[in-house]
Amino acid sequence: MPVYDGPAKGMVLKKAVVEPGVPFTLPTVSFPHRQQFSDEVARAVVRGEKFFTVYGYVCYGDIFGSSLKRMKFCETVLNVFGGDAICDWWEGLSSPDYAGTDDYPYRAKAEQGDSAVS
């Protein structure tokens, strides 16, 4: 199961109304929400010695008050051609737990032993 715990956990974006079928680009992530890795790790990914996978979700609602939805994503950088820097992002390599859209999983903490909502 995905573990959604990292530097961008709980990052709230400014509300925006997005028209159906119109692409929306997420804003650039600010410094405190970024993760960095060394040049050697990047070279190992390019050489195919390591995998670099990014996964997470965007939680969204609508103006009609429907329950929140969670759009999950998972993509992996692969160098399938073996060149020095011919890498590309690939999706669809993960289990369904990491992709698709579902209802945002609210759980009352009362079910977990206290009274807040998580």
Q: How confident is the model at residue 114 (pLDDT cuts 50, 70, 90)?
A: very low
pLDDT of residue 40: 93
| Residue 68 pLDDT exceeds 70 | yes
* Biggest alpha carbon–alpha carbon distance for the chain: 55
pLDDT number for residue 29: 75
The pTM score is 0.69
Q: Spell out the domain ranges in the chain.
A: 37-112
At residue 46, the pLDDT reads 84
For residue 45, give every residue at least 6 positions away whose Cβ sits within 8 Å of its Cβ, in sequence order, or none. Answer: 51, 52, 77, 79, 87
> pLDDT digits over 1-58, tens only?
788 887 777 777 788 888 888 998 888 877 776 778 899 998 888 888 888 888 888 8
Task: Give 113 or 90, the one with higher predicted confidence.
Answer: 90
